[in-house]
Amino acid sequence: MIYIWLIALFFIYSIFPTWIVRISSFRVQKRVKKGVALTFDDGPDPVYTPQLLDLLKKYNVKATFFVVGWKAKKYPHLIQRMHEEGHTIGLHHYYHTSNWFLPPIVTEWELERSARAIEHMTGVRPVYYRPPWGHLNIWTVLMQKKYKIVMWTYILGDWRTSLGVDRLYERLMSSITDGSIIVLHDSGSTIGADEHAPANMLRALEQLLQHCSVQWVKVNEQ
C-alpha cells in the first residue's frame, strides 16, 4: 500500500503539473508574439559555445541561452561574452537536474545559486527559466513571481548525432513559423546527449541562417 501512496504523491508533485503545463501553457511562455526565437540549452561549452557565438555574430542574430550554473561559473568569460553581445541569459538549473526528483528547497537552491552567479558576472539578474527536460513540479509552477518559465514551440532532437545535419536542417526549416520558440543545444555533455552533437547543430544552423531571412528575436522581446 505504501508504494501506491508514493506513486500517487510522485504523480501529484511531478507528473501532473508537467502535464497540465504542457497541454495548457498555464503560466509559461511557449511562443513569442512576433518573429522566431532561437534558444540554446545546456551550455556554456568551451568548444561549441564560442563557435555558436561567432556564428550568431556573423549573421547579427540575438538569441536566448539557458545556461547550467556550474558551467557558467567554470566559463565566466563565455557568460560575459553572451551578455556583451546582446543575448539574453536564462537559467537551466545548477546541475541540470530534473524537477521531478527535487524537493522545493533544492529546486530553489539550484535556481538561486545559478542566478547569483550570473548576476555577479553580468550585473543583470536572470528572470527567465527553462526547467531541464521540461520537467516541472508543483513548486516550480508556484515560483512565477521570481522567474518566468519558458518552454518551447519546437524541440528538434539535435542532441543526437544520428539525426544528421540534413535532417536537422529540414526540421529547422519546418520550425520557422511566426511566433515559434526553437530549442537547440550548444553542449553535448548532458546525460542522454551525444558529446559532439553540437557540431551538427552548428552546421545545420549556419545553413538556416544563410537561406532563411526572418525576424530573429529573444524571448524577452515581447
Answer yes or no: is pLDDT of 79 > 90: yes
∠92-95-100 over CA atoms, to 5°? 75
CB-based burial label for 2 (10 Å; 0-12, 13-18, 19+) = exposed
Q: Which band of pLDDT confidence, cut at 50, 70 and 90, is reported for residue 10?
A: low
Q: How many CB atoms lie within 10 A of CB 146?
A: 13
Would you state the pLDDT for residue 177? Answer: 95
| Cis, bond preceding 126 (omega within 30 deg of 0) | no
- What's the average model confidence in pLDDT over 68-74? 97
41, 45, 186, 194: the catalytic one is 41
pLDDT digits (tens, 9 = 90+) for 176-192: 999 999 999 999 999 88
42, 185, 186, 194: the catalytic one is 185
Q: Is 93 a catalytic residue?
A: no
Question: Which residues are CB-neighbours of 52 under 8 A, at least 6 positions away?
Answer: 40, 43, 186, 198, 202, 205
Would you state the pLDDT for residue 22? Answer: 75
Q: Is 185 a catalytic residue?
A: yes
Question: Which residues are CB-neighbours of 58 under 8 A, at least 6 positions away?
Answer: 209
Would you state the pLDDT for residue 200? Answer: 98
**What's the predicted TM-score (pTM) here?**
0.93
